[in-house]
């Protein structure tokens, strides 16, 4: 998170939306949660989706659950 945080802070204000098209383990989401930013994370690998959700789960700002259905 310490590497990502300066980027999030430099490119957004509280309440802004941050897009991470390669969400991976959810580091951008964690930083956005801590810094009061909204975010959209895109990740194709189901294992990383699970990992990211487990890192972020339990936060008050989580609005949606996920569906592991693969787009065809």
In terms of residue numbers, what domain contains 36?
Answer: 5-56
Considering the domain boundaries, does residue 71 fall inside one? Answer: no
Residue 11 in domain: yes
Does residue 17 form part of some domain?
yes
Higher pLDDT, 21 or 66: 21
| 28/18 Cα distance (integer angstroms) | 8
Flag whether 41 is in a domain. yes
Total domain count, the chain: 1
Can you tell me whether residue 46 is helix, strand or coil?
Answer: helix
Quick one: pLDDT at residue 47? 94
Q: Is 9 among the domain residues?
A: yes
Please report whether residue 52 resides in a domain.
yes
* pLDDT tens readout for residues 34-59: 999 999 999 999 999 999 998 887 55
> Is 72 or 28 the better-scoring residue by pLDDT?
28
pLDDT of residue 63: 55
**What's the mean per-residue pLDDT of the chain?**
87
- Which pLDDT does position 56 carry in this prediction? 87
Instruction: Tell whether 27 is covered by a domain.
Output: yes
User: Is 25 within the bounds of a domain?
Assistant: yes
In this prediction, residue 57 carries a pLDDT of 78
């Amino acid at each position: 998170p310490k590497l990502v945080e300066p980027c999030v802070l430099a490119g957004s204000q509280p309440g802004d939306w941050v897009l991470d098209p390669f969400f991976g383990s959810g580091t951008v989401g964690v930083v956005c949660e801590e810094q009061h930013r909204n975010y959209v994370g895109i990740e194709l690998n189901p294992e990383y989706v699970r990992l990211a959700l487990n890192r972020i789960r339990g936060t008050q700002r989580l609005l949606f659950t996920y569906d592991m259905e693969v787009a065809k």
